[in-house]
């Protein structure tokens, strides 16, 4: 996969090189889809939201400031797009059996697959039970593996607020999972 820097991408795009935007999609599509899937709860809605994220990014790429991080800029668009989906009531939380925690090939038994599916569904239900602000913060930290600083940039909040939300989210998740598992 070709790596690029923000300035090179921006200059190429502003010069009319549409392949620069293709590079951006290739570089970030899996991360944006994953973010949307965890925020929205299912793959179908996540696909739509991820497409919307890239449409918005395309429309606003000329406004992007090269001194900013392209990564956190896209995540901010992603988070806001997902929140818009929820606010507009386009979504209903659906249980899904997809899991980021797949067992290794050949290491699977029906019991392990069932337990993995049950655990995944319990985590999904517990995440859905969190208030929106806490769920967004914990997903960005624990699933998307963003740093506290990156989360603060994406959500436009202080690092202290990020730490506080993550702490509260973990406590609530622990309580919710005790009732689930």
Do residue 87 and residue 119 come from a single domain? no
Q: Confidence band (pLDDT; 50, 70, 90) for 180?
A: low
Dihedral sign of CA atoms 34, 40, 41, 47 in order: negative
Do residue 59 and residue 105 come from a single domain? no
Do residue 87 and residue 15 come from a single domain? yes
Output the domain CATH number for residue 35. 1.10.1740.10
Residue by residue, DSSP assigns 120-139 as HHHHHHHHHTS-HHHHHHHI
What is the count of structural domains for the chain?
2
Is the pLDDT at 151 greater than 80? The verdict is yes
Do residue 33 and residue 106 come from a single domain? no
Q: Confidence band (pLDDT; 50, 70, 90) for 169?
A: very high
- Mean per-residue pLDDT for 80-106? 53
C-alpha 61/C-alpha 29 separation (Å) is 16
Domain containing residue 16: 1-94
Do residue 75 and residue 108 come from a single domain? no
Do residue 75 and residue 122 come from a single domain? no
Percent of the chain residues topping a pLDDT of 70: 83
């Amino acid at each position: 996969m070709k790596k690029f820097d923000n300035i090179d991408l921006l200059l190429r795009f502003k010069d009319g090189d549409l392949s620069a935007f293709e590079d951006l999609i290739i570089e970030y599509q899996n991360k944006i889809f994953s973010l949307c899937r965890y925020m929205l709860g299912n793959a179908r809605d996540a696909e739509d939201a991820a497409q919307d994220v890239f449409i918005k990014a395309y429309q606003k790429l000329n406004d992007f400031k090269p001194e900013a991080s392209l990564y956190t800029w896209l995540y901010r668009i992603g988070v806001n797009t997902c929140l818009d989906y929820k606010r507009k009531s386009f979504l209903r939380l659906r249980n899904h059996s997809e899991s980021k925690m797949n067992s290794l090939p050949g290491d699977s038994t029906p019991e392990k697959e069932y337990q993995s599916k049950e655990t995944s569904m319990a985590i999904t239900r517990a995440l859905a039970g969190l208030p929106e602000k806490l769920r967004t913060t914990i997903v960005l930290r624990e699933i998307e593996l963003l740093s506290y600083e990156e989360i603060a940039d994406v959500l436009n909040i202080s690092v202290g607020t990020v730490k506080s939300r993550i702490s509260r989210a973990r406590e609530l998740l622990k309580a919710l999972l005790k009732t689930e598992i």
